[in-house]
Structure 1
Amino acid sequence: MSGTEQAVLLHTSGRAARIILNRPKALNALTHAMVRRIDQALTTWERDPAVETVVITGAGERGLCAGGDIRAIHDDARDGDGTASAAFWSDEYRLNARIAHYPKPYVAVMDGIVMGGGVGVSGHGSVRVVTERSRIAMPETGIGFVPDIGGTYLLALAPGELGTHLALTGAPAGAADALLCGLADHHVPSAALPALLDDLTRLPVREALARHVASPAGGVLAAQRAWIDDCYAADTVEAIIGRLLSHGEPAAKETAETLLTKSPTALKVTLASLRRARRLGPLEPVLDQEYRVSCACLTHPDLVEGIRAQVIDKDRAPRWSPGTLAEVADADVRAFFAPLGERELGLAGTADTAVEVAW
């Protein structure tokens, strides 16, 4: 078995086909080869009448997937010309769009940590299951990057300004908060997952879920909606932070302090991405926008510096450039959205958005 085959285990049992991300030591982080293997499997199973349901899980006890292989992106941005990362994102985003329109039930078991690219292979599925261990996050602003993999699409759809809060802070959402924000559909206790996976091999998805779905413990975001919606409704990151600092709620002040540790450029580009995503409509044009932004990030110093500080050296002391929000001009932000010409992802208008999945 090759390394890629070991990193993504595929098998079928009864009516269900299984995708198991199998890099537990790397928290199942996605490589380009893994993305291609998943896509090939979906092609095969789409044509196989014996496969009625696709289920994706992660190996190990820590989570489904911690995201893309950002060490490889760091090295490509620092030492290469960015083409490897751009090629990875191109195939990854196309896979995200495919999952969103897959014609068979696609059940994502979002147990444990699910971040970045992990959200991409789960959050667009037709059936998204969380547990009491779930921690779903888009923490990109902490590494000088911007939520991608359709993350700005998903977060822009969250009620009020909850998605803006999660995108700018990178804060994790537990089960109840993920359900509130539309990042998940059902809560199943982690102890019941083996039985659920077994039932999916024999039963339609709806019947299998009915045996195991339970109410989650309370979240935190519902009680914070008032100050989140008020503060994040501001038009700029500076104004958001100003509202947070003056609100009077201790959690709001703590959030402002968190934001001030993130990449100033990434914060401003993330806010612009979310606001633009709300106007773009379907997933595909949002992915096209994210691809432009991601490629632009490869040439900005904060991406290499952020990954260095958080993942390579782990000193947790990034030196952002520019170092303050005031130094990031509106023109600097607009440059991240510049068209790519022949290098455009070009997903807009390509999807059959009328596909309905019966499960």
Structure 2
Amino acid sequence: MTEPTLSATASASASAPPAEHVRVERRGALGVIVLDRQRALNALTHAMVRDVADALRTLAADDEVECVAITGAGERALCAGGDVVSLRDDVQSNGGRGAARFWRDEYAMNAAIARFPKPVVAIQHGIVLGGGVGISGHASHRVATGSTRIGFPEVTIGFVPDVGATWLLTRRSGELGTRAALTGDHFGAADAIALGLSDAHVPDDRLPELLALLETTHPDDAIARLATAPPAGTLQASRPLIDHAFAGDDPALIVARLRAAGDEGVAMAGTIAERSPFAVAVTLAALRRARRMGSLEEALVQEFRVSRHVSLAPDFAEGVRAQLVDKDRRPRWRPASLAGVTPAMVEACFAPVPEGDLALPTRSQQEERA
């Protein structure tokens, strides 16, 4: 696997034996969960998701552990998502039933991180895409670095942002999250903070020092000692354009506004035009619905429905083919343009699925268990 990109892409039929690619370490009062599948940029398999969930339960119950850190082995990535080819294979050969089981476990893990009873520090170094955001973006303390490249590139393969992305990208006012989701672009530390995906920037060469401090120091204090201002990003400077152009529920109108907004807008419109029109339309609808929701769990339940439906649509198999199988980078989208995506097509993606909705414990239930 040379190009892992997405969370929903994590392998539905993982072959790795338990704990082969997840290490759990105790360092003083710090518990460390290390994703260690470096040849695949620490991309998640189903077995890895289960191992992380098991580790979280163990560390939550250990009274000597006061804080948990999540990091990725090597210098290249925290987690680049997963193997979209395996997911596509499961959809084509098994109707996506294995993928559905994966999503149930992954989304439950995402929620468990968000509701973890102790501080969780996620080290977002290197590539952090799709599922990499899912395993880090819901942590209580999210640390970006100089090497961070973070984003949700799902629309490039005919899929939709998941792992709680619709929740994360809609918590702040304005349309920066919409811009990130509809273009599928990747961002550095400053933009990750602006998007609400990260909280602070710590230089890569100070990460060992940060982990050492966390063994004895509350993460608020440890991060404050080492955090620096990140290199300037691009989103805040473009915010007036983004907030105007990406407003509303009509993706075609968004593209029209961008095309009328000068060179920067034209460039973003061109990027969106290369993405799956169906995925862009469904993504926008999912973001708008998630903005009105009251909890991450609600958003994950919606994302489970959407992921199941969209994975069975033609564009997902075609997008993976074009990007990762044949690698011709010339997907033949169906429909070929936003004009061909009907409201009924979009609405169908939010309907119940045959195997039933994702079931997650409520916040009060999780607090009682803790």
Q: Of the candidates 196, 204, 213, which is equivalent to residue 199 of structure 1? A: 213
Question: Is 1:318–2:331 an aligned residue pair?
Answer: yes
Tell me which residue corresponds to 1:258: 271
Tell me which residue corresponds to 1:305: 318
Tell me which residue corresponds to 1:239: 253
Q: 1:311, 1:150 → 2: CA distance?
A: 24
Letter in 2 for 1:166: A
Q: Of the candidates 319, 334, 340, which is equivalent to residue 327 of structure 1? A: 340
Letter in 2 for 1:102: F
Tell me which residue corresponds to 2:66: 52
Q: Does the 8 Å contact 1:145/1:294 carry over to 2?
A: yes
Cα deviation for residue 23 of structure 1 reads 0.9
After TM superposition, the structure 1 = structure 2 runs for residues 202-217 of structure 1, keeping only pairs within 5 Å, are: 202-217=216-231
Q: Of the candidates 274, 278, 285, which is equivalent to residue 287 of structure 2? A: 274
Q: Of the candidates 48, 73, 77, which is equivalent to residue 87 of structure 2? A: 73
Q: Which 4+ runs in 1 deviate beyond 4 A?
A: none
Question: Is 1:344–2:361 an aligned residue pair?
Answer: no
**TM-score (normalizing by structure 1):** 0.95
Letter in 1 for 2:340: E
Tell me which residue corresponds to 1:173: 187
Cα deviation for residue 206 of structure 1 reads 2.2
Tell me which residue corresponds to 1:63: 77
Tell me which residue corresponds to 2:8: none
Q: Does the 8 Å contact 2:156/2:276 carry over to 1?
A: yes
Tell me which residue corresponds to 1:37: 51
Q: Cα distance 1:148–1:326, how it changes in 2: closer, same or farther (>3 A)?
A: same
> Could you list the per-position Cα deviations for residues 206-258 of structure 1 after superposition, in whole angstroms to 9, with x for gaps in the alignment?
2322221111111100100011011001331110000000112x111000000
Cα deviation for residue 61 of structure 1 reads 1.6
Question: Is 1:13–2:27 an aligned residue pair?
Answer: yes
Q: 1:303, 1:49 → 2: CA distance?
A: 45
Q: 1:162, 1:352 → 2: CA distance?
A: 31
Cα deviation for residue 47 of structure 1 reads 0.7
Tell me which residue corresponds to 2:235: 221
Q: Please identify, of 77-86 and 330-339, the stretch whose mean Cα deviation from structure 2 is larger.
A: 77-86
Q: Does the 8 Å contact 1:105/1:205 carry over to 2?
A: yes
Q: 2:17, 2:34 → 1: CA distance?
A: 14
Tell me which residue corresponds to 1:283: 296
Q: Please identify, of 228-237 and 115-124, the stretch whose mean Cα deviation from structure 2 is larger.
A: 228-237
Of all paired residues, the percent bearing the same amino acid is: 50
Q: 1:113, 1:237 → 2: CA distance?
A: 28
Letter in 2 for 1:120: G
Cα deviation for residue 6 of structure 1 reads 2.4
Tell me which residue corresponds to 1:133: 147
Tell me which residue corresponds to 2:9: none
Q: 1:259, 1:74 → 2: CA distance?
A: 23
Cα deviation for residue 353 of structure 1 reads 8.7
Letter in 1 for 2:297: E
Q: Please identify, of 118-127 and 232-241, the stretch whose mean Cα deviation from structure 2 is larger.
A: 232-241
Letter in 2 for 1:222: Q
Q: Aligned with 1:10: secondary structure?
A: strand
Cα deviation for residue 193 of structure 1 reads 0.4
Q: Aligned with 1:118: secondary structure?
A: helix
Q: Aligned with 1:41: secondary structure?
A: helix
Q: 1:317, 1:25 → 2: CA distance?
A: 27
After TM superposition, the structure 1 = structure 2 runs for residues 151-170 of structure 1, keeping only pairs within 5 Å, are: 151-170=165-184
**TM-score (normalizing by structure 2):** 0.92
Q: Of the candidates 204, 212, 219, which is equivalent to residue 190 of structure 1? A: 204
Cα deviation for residue 168 of structure 1 reads 0.4
Q: Aligned with 2:292: secondary structure?
A: helix
Q: Cα distance 1:304–1:341, how it changes in 2: closer, same or farther (>3 A)?
A: closer
Q: 1:309, 1:16 → 2: CA distance?
A: 43
Q: Please identify, of 298-307 and 259-268, the stretch whose mean Cα deviation from structure 2 is larger.
A: 298-307
Q: Cα distance 1:30–1:245, how it changes in 2: closer, same or farther (>3 A)?
A: same
